[in-house]
Amino acid sequence: MAAIEAAALGYPSTSPTRGSGPIHRRRRRLTLFRVIVFVVMGTFFLVPILAMFEFTTRGTGLGAARTLTAWRQIFDYPDLIDAIVVSLELAAITSIAGLLLLVPTMIWVRLRLPRLTRVIEFLCLLPLTVPAIVLVVGLAPVYAWVTYFFGSSTLTLAFAYVVLVLPYTYRVLDSGLSAIDVRTLAEAARSLGAGWGTVMWRIIAPNMRSALLNAALLSVALVLGEFTIASLLSFQNLQVAINFLGRANAGVSISVALASLFFAFVLLLALSFVGRRRPAPVQEEE
Amino acid sequence: MTEELGSVVDARPRQGGRRLPLAWLGAVPFLAYVSIFLLLPTAIVVIGAFAGPNGPTLSNLNTLTQDYVVASFVKSIELSAASSAVGAVFGSLLAYAIVTGKPDATMRRLVTSACGVLAQFGGVTLAFAFIATVGGEGLITVFFADRGIDIGSSVWLFELPGLTLVYSYFQIPLMVLVFLPALDGIRPQWREATETLGGNGWHYWRHVAAPILWPAFLGATLLLFANAFSAYATVAALVSQGGIIVPLQIANSIQSEVGAANENVGKALALGMVVIVAIVMTLYVVLQRKSAKWQR
Amino acid sequence: MTQPLTDIADGTSREHGVEVRLEDLRRVYGNVTALDGLTLTLAPGELVTLLGPSGCGKTSALRLVAGLEEADGGRIVVGGQEVTNLPANKRGMGMVFQAYSLFPHMTARQNVAFGLRLRGVRDADRKRRAGDMLELVGLGAQADRFAHQMSGGQQQRVALARALAIEPQVLLLDEPLSALDAKVRAQLRDEIRRIQLKVGTTTLFVTHDQEEALAIADRVGVMRAGRLEQLASPNDVYARPATAFVAEFVGLSNRIPATVTDGVAEVLGMRLPLVDPATPSGDAMAIVRPEAFSLVGYSEADTTADPLVGFVIATAFLGAVSRVTVKLESATVLAQLPTSEARAYPAGTRVRLNLRTDPVLVSPLTTVGAKG
- Which of C90, C105, C115 is closest, CB to CB, to B212? C105
State whether residue A55 sits within 8 Å of chain B by CB.
Answer: yes
Chain A partners of C72 at a C-beta cutoff of 8 Å? 15, 17-18
Bridge partners (DSSP) listed for residue C36 = C26
State whether residue C28 sits within 8 Å of chain A by CB.
Answer: yes
In tens, the pLDDT along A176-208 reads 888 788 888 888 888 888 888 888 888 888 888
Q: How far is CA C172 from CA A50, C49, C114, C153, C354, in A?
A: 55, 10, 18, 18, 44
- Per-residue model confidence (pLDDT) at position C1: 36
Chain C partners of A14 at a C-beta cutoff of 8 Å? 29, 69-70
Write the CB contacts of C90 (distance below 8 Å, at least 6 apart in sequence): B198, C1, C2, C3, C67
Q: Determine contact, residues C3/C90, Cβ cutoff 8 Å.
A: yes
Q: How far is CA B187 from CA A225, B146, B177, C97, in A?
A: 36, 52, 19, 12
pLDDT band at residue A3, thresholds of 50, 70 and 90? Answer: very low
Write the CB contacts of A263 (distance below 8 Å, at least 6 apart in sequence): A224
Nearest CA in chain C to A7: C69
- Per-residue model confidence (pLDDT) at position C185: 92
Neighbors of chain B with 3 or more C-beta pairs under 8 Å:
A, C
**Average pLDDT in the A70-95 region?**
86
**Average pLDDT in the A282-286 region?**
48
Write out the CATH class of domain C252-364. Answer: mainly beta
Q: Determine contact, residues C89/B199, Cβ cutoff 8 Å.
A: yes
State whether residue B117 sits within 8 Å of chain A by CB.
Answer: yes
pLDDT tens by residue, chain C, 372 residues? 333 333 333 333 445 689 999 999 999 988 889 999 999 999 999 999 999 998 889 999 999 999 999 999 999 999 989 999 899 999 989 999 998 899 999 999 999 999 999 999 999 999 999 999 999 999 999 899 998 899 999 999 999 999 999 999 999 999 999 989 888 999 999 999 999 999 999 999 999 998 999 999 999 999 999 999 999 999 989 888 888 889 889 988 888 888 888 888 888 888 888 877 777 888 888 888 898 888 888 776 666 678 888 889 999 998 899 999 999 888 899 999 999 888 888 888 888 888 888 888 887 765 444 443
CA–CA dist A130, A96 (Å, integer)? 23
Q: Determine contact, residues C361/C248, Cβ cutoff 8 Å.
A: no
DSSP secondary-structure letter at A281? P
Q: How far is CA C352 from CA A88, A101, C268, C271, C294, in A?
A: 81, 71, 12, 17, 9
Across the beta sheet with C219-224, what order do the strands follow? Answer: C93-96, C170-174, C202-207, C47-51, C219-224, C227-232
- Per-residue model confidence (pLDDT) at position B149: 67
Chain B partners of A9 at a C-beta cutoff of 8 Å? 100
Domain C5-92+168-239 indexed as CATH 3.40.50.300 = yes
φ/ψ of residue A281, rounded to 5: -60, 135
Taking only residues 205 to 244 of chain B, the set having a beta carbon closer than 8 angstroms to any beta carbon of chain A reads 223, 226, 229-230, 232-233, 236-237
User: What are the residue ranges spanned by the domains of chain C?
Assistant: 5-92+168-239, 252-364
Neighbors of chain C with 3 or more C-beta pairs under 8 Å:
A, B
In tens, the pLDDT along B20-61 reads 567 788 888 899 999 999 999 988 888 888 877 777 777 777
- Per-residue model confidence (pLDDT) at position C9: 36
State whether residue A204 sits within 8 Å of chain B by CB.
Answer: no
Q: Determine contact, residues A76/A256, Cβ cutoff 8 Å.
A: no
pLDDT band at residue A78, thresholds of 50, 70 and 90? Answer: confident
For chain B, list residues with pLDDT below 50: 1-18, 296
Taking only residues 49 to 78 of chain B, the set having a beta carbon closer than 8 angstroms to any beta carbon of chain A reads none
Please say if the pLDDT value at position A14 is more than 50: no
- Which of A34, A159, A261 is closest, CB to CB, to B37? A159
Chain C partners of B293 at a C-beta cutoff of 8 Å? 148
CA–CA dist B53, B55 (Å, integer)? 6
State whether residue C85 sits within 8 Å of chain A by CB.
Answer: yes
State whether residue B2 sits within 8 Å of chain A by CB.
Answer: no
**Average pLDDT in the A92-100 region?**
93
Inter-chain contact B237–A52, Cβ cutoff 8 Å? no
Nearest CA in chain C to B214: C105
- Per-residue model confidence (pLDDT) at position C190: 92
Inter-chain contact A113–B233, Cβ cutoff 8 Å? no
- Per-residue model confidence (pLDDT) at position B92: 95
- Per-residue model confidence (pLDDT) at position C304: 65
CA–CA dist B113, B107 (Å, integer)? 10
Instruction: List alpha helices for A113-181, DSSP H.
Output: 117-129, 132-150, 157-179
Inter-chain contact C97–B197, Cβ cutoff 8 Å? no
State whether residue C87 sits within 8 Å of chain B by CB.
Answer: yes
Chain A partners of C68 at a C-beta cutoff of 8 Å? 8
Q: Are strands C81-82 and C73-78 parallel, antiparallel or unpaired?
A: antiparallel
Strand, coil or helix: what is A64? coil
Q: Which of A49, A66, A100, A112 to mutate to test the interface with B (most CBs of B within 10 A)?
A: A112
* Residue C4 vs residue A59, higher pLDDT: A59
Residue A103 CA, chain-centre distance (Å), reads: 17
Chain C partners of B198 at a C-beta cutoff of 8 Å? 1-2, 89-90, 92, 115, 118-119, 166
* Residue A236 vs residue B16, higher pLDDT: A236
CA–CA dist A224, B256 (Å, integer)? 27
Bridge partners (DSSP) listed for residue C32 = C29
State whether residue C372 sits within 8 Å of chain A by CB.
Answer: yes
Domains along chain B?
Answer: 67-294 (1.10.3720.10)
State whether residue A26 sits within 8 Å of chain C by CB.
Answer: no
Q: What is the percentage of chain B residues whose pLDDT exceeds 70? A: 83
Q: What is the ipTM of this complex?
A: 0.80
Nearest to C36 by CA among C61, C59, C19: C61
- Per-residue model confidence (pLDDT) at position C11: 37
Inter-chain contact B233–A227, Cβ cutoff 8 Å? yes
- Per-residue model confidence (pLDDT) at position A285: 46
- Per-residue model confidence (pLDDT) at position B289: 81
Write the CB contacts of A205 (distance below 8 Å, at least 6 apart in sequence): A103, A212
Nearest CA-CA distance, residue C95 and chain B, Å: 6
Nearest CA-CA distance, residue C290 and chain A, Å: 18
Nearest CA in chain A to B270: A134
Chain C partners of A24 at a C-beta cutoff of 8 Å? 70
Task: Please report, to the nearest 10 degrees, the dihedral formed by the alpha carbons of residues B129, B132, B134, B136 taken in order.
Answer: 140
State whether residue A127 sits within 8 Å of chain B by CB.
Answer: yes
Q: Which of A38, A137, A262 to mutate to test the interface with B (most CBs of B within 10 A)?
A: A137
**Average pLDDT in the A234-249 region?**
84
Inter-chain contact A286–C30, Cβ cutoff 8 Å? no
- Per-residue model confidence (pLDDT) at position A193: 87
Please say if the pLDDT value at position A1 is more than 50: no
Nearest CA-CA distance, residue A269 and chain B, Å: 5
State whether residue C148 sits within 8 Å of chain B by CB.
Answer: yes
Chain C partners of B187 at a C-beta cutoff of 8 Å? 100-101
